[in-house]
Amino acid sequence: MPYEPPPYLADLTLAQIAEQVAARKLPPVEGWAPTKMGDSRMRIAADGTWFHDGDPIRREAMVRAFSGLLTRDASGEHFLVSPFEKLSIEVEDAAFIATDCAQREGGLAFFLNTDELVIAGPDHPLRAAGDAETPAIYLHVRRGCEARLNRSTYAQLAEIAIANGDDWTVSSGGETFSLLP
């Protein structure tokens, strides 16, 4: 079955975005108890590029498949989990990159570099980090993994915050998030 990327975020209502999010079938990683541990020899660069043995993974379908297996533990280490193996993966900054943002009907939706949609809220909070000179905004995606907002998405979110007032906060899903580190 050929892969069909989701439509552009700007063309969707919040209900359509929520429908797309619900339709994504992720592997039940939480229920797996692999016995073999190892190193995946993979790395996710700060710009979101995935590498294996130093070479970029060029097949987007492989990146999408691997991203569904990602977890991050309480110590901040990332792993690819299968029913049989738990392999470490180096992540330079965040496992995902948020590449687009839209405000719809009281919600903030984000499009990720893995063709996923995430709606910010209690289960997917935004977190401000960095400092005044180099701010960074992160969105919790799943299983401890986060997406860092790229520069243009950060600018979109800043415009939303400014349009809503002068306190540098945004709201989504009944939660309010500060954009100030």
Tens-place pLDDT, residues 104-158: 888 999 999 998 999 999 999 999 999 988 899 999 999 999 999 999 999 999 9
Tens-place pLDDT, residues 12-36: 776 776 777 667 778 889 899 999 9
By CB neighbour count within 10 A (0-12 exposed, 13-18 middle, 19+ buried), where does 57 fall?
middle
Cut 0.95: pTM above it: no
Edge-to-edge strand list for the sheet holding 70-72: 55-56, 50-52, 36-44, 85-91, 78-81, 70-72
- ∠ CA 26-28-110, nearest 5°, is 35
